[in-house]
């Protein structure tokens, strides 16, 4: 799988998320390692979710994982907290805001 294929799959999965109840600004960067390596961001702003294939330097949190782990998270086949505990997901930044990832996964 290429980075572009992964990005398109994840973007489609994230589009289904209902973030209308999220009143604060959130910005998460996803750093993909191994196959399909690259970075993209998801931002919740004004009750809408934006997913773009760029780095986000003023982010609240950054998540680092493999493409396989990210797809399992997006498909709800893996819990983000469990992935973190097992060492399959690394989190840098505001942990409180990082936990809000579950709102759109």
3-class SS string, 42-94 = EEEECCEEEEECCCCCCCCEEEEEEHHHHHHHHCCCCCHHHHHHCCCCEEEEC
E strand or H helix that includes residue 41: strand 38-45
pLDDT score, position 4: 96
The answer to whether the beta carbons of residues 13 and 47 sit under 8 Å apart is no
**Domains recognised in the chain with CATH numbers:** 3-103 (3.30.1050.10)
**Over the stretch 62-72, which tens digit does the pLDDT of each residue have?**
999 999 999 99
pLDDT score, position 22: 86
pTM of the model as a whole: 0.91
């Amino acid at each position: 799988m290429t980075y572009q294929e992964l990005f398109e799959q994840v973007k489609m999965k994230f589009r289904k998320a209902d973030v209308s109840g999220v009143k604060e600004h959130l910005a998460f960067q996803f750093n993909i390692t191994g196959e399909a390596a690259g970075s993209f961001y998801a931002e919740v702003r004004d009750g809408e979710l934006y997913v773009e294939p760029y780095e986000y330097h003023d982010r609240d949190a950054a998540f680092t994982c493999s493409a396989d782990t990210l797809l399992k998270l997006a498909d709800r086949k893996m819990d983000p907290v469990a992935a973190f505990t097992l060492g399959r997901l690394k989190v840098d930044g505001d942990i409180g805001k990082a936990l809000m990832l579950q709102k759109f996964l």
